[in-house]
Amino acid sequence: MRRLTATEAARRFSDLLDRVEQDGETFVVERRGRAVASIAPAAPASGAAIKDLLRSVSRDEDWSAELTELRSALRPEDRRWSD
């Protein structure tokens, strides 16, 4: 894990992103000698993980009725072109 100043990170941001993407490197960005951020590869996401998350939450039986009620309250906007 390489450490660099915020100024250096700003000047070489595109290069940093290339190295993170291509080589999986992680960088710690420092300001006044103190670590303030890290630039690292993003965690992979998958449809399976999202499905598992949705399945872990109990079903809201009132959702459909609430959605119907909200939709009934909507009114179309009158947006006429000005002459």
Mean local confidence (pLDDT), 50-77: 90
State the pairing for strand pair 27-31/34-39: antiparallel
Amino acid at position 36, single letter: V
Assigned domain for 8 exists: yes
Residue-range definition of the domain harbouring residue 10: 2-39
Assigned domain for 17 exists: yes
d(CA 9, CA 40): 13
d(CA 28, CA 30): 6
Assigned domain for 32 exists: yes
Assigned domain for 81 exists: no
d(CA 38, CA 79): 47
Assigned domain for 33 exists: yes
Count how many domains the chain has.
1
Q: What is the CATH number of the domain that holds 22?
A: 3.40.1620.10
Confidence of residue 83 (pLDDT cuts 50, 70, 90): low
Q: What is the pLDDT of residues 19-63, one digit of tens each?
A: 999 999 999 999 999 999 999 999 887 889 889 988 999 988 899
Assigned domain for 26 exists: yes
Assigned domain for 27 exists: yes
pLDDT at 76: 84
Q: Tell me the whole-structure pTM to 2 decimals.
A: 0.54
- CA distance between the termini of the chain: 62
